[in-house]
Amino acid sequence: MRIANNNGRLALVHNDRIIDIEKASAGAFAADPMSVFARWDELVSWGASVNVGEHPDAESLDPAMFGAPSPRPRQVIGVGLNYADHAIESGLPLPEEPVVFTKFSSSVAGPDVDVTLPGPTVDWEAELVIVIGTGGRHIPRSKARSHIAGFTVGQDLSERTVQWQGQPAQFSMGKSFENFAPTGPVIVTLDELADPDHLTHTTTIVGADGTQTEVQNGTTDQLIFGVDDLVARLSETIELFPGDLIFTGTPSGVGAGRDPKRFLVAGETLVTTIAGIGQITQRFLAGPR
Ligand code: ZN
């Protein structure tokens, strides 16, 4: 099942067709995408009874109308160095515990946005994003799936100079500029994506002249801390709330790990794809400095 935020309204997607959930459910579910996460199981069982393709209210979908699937999460949690090859390219040891930071929720954006470059060292990080359904504390690993609404595609955009500024460095500011947490295009639920540990993802930079360069190509089976493990470990400390986002980490191929280093410049477009979920796109615009 694929759930979208269609112009601010919760929607069910099948191929190129879409239905408005509030209308099709006769108000059983509200239109606000944030209102359903705490009732996710009800939504999924209702959705399973709906044939989107033949529904009288089905319309053609317009991807340009899609917003962030969870537009106002209470928490956006980032996990650093969660792929061995990325830890190595960063010159850092493999973590024994998850390395956790926050992307402030005002950085959350939809799947297709313009990003104004706040500095000269903005980097890309393709990530599988966990969307929390029913929240909780002390969630055992064996119950983690029942707290997950589904998965979406994310970019953990990072201004590296700001990220490493100060002693000790504070990651969160460099990762929280406007539109630095683009997500989407949909949430894919567990019934359609039973195995989040074997998903292929790619990141491609499209230059102003149209030249395409694939810069990242990874699979989530390389995650040091897998999806269930992250939910369990994070919930030991943090209460997870409905709609929270967990950015699970990025594989190798980021700009800062290259020789020479490469960062995003105005005119470039970043395209991130996870097989079975979809694609998100950001266009980069010149900033103030
Ligand atoms: Zn990251």
Which residues make Cβ contacts (< 8 Å) with residue 106, sequence separation at least 6? 176, 178
C-alpha 218/C-alpha 228 separation (Å) is 19
C-alpha 232/C-alpha 143 separation (Å) is 8
C-alpha 204/C-alpha 213 separation (Å) is 5
Quote the ligand 1 centre to 1 CA distance (angstroms): 26
Quote the ligand 1 centre to 125 CA distance (angstroms): 5
Q: What is the pTM of this model?
A: 0.97
Quote the ligand 1 centre to 5 CA distance (angstroms): 24
pLDDT at 88: 87
224 sits in the region (left: phi over 0; alpha: psi -120 to 50; else beta) called: alpha
Quote the ligand 1 centre to 208 CA distance (angstroms): 25
Q: In the chain, which ranges are E strands?
A: 2-6, 9-14, 17-20, 59-60, 66-67, 76-80, 99-102, 108-109, 112-116, 122-123, 126-132, 148-155, 158-159, 181-188, 200-206, 212-219, 245-247, 269-274, 278-285
Quote the ligand 1 centre to 25 CA distance (angstroms): 37
Quote the ligand 1 centre to 101 CA distance (angstroms): 9
Quote the ligand 1 centre to 80 CA distance (angstroms): 5
Quote the ligand 1 centre to 23 CA distance (angstroms): 37
What is the tens place of the pLDDT at every residue in 62-85? 999 999 999 999 999 999 999 998
What is the tens place of the pLDDT at every residue in 214-258? 999 999 999 999 999 999 999 999 999 999 999 999 999 999 999
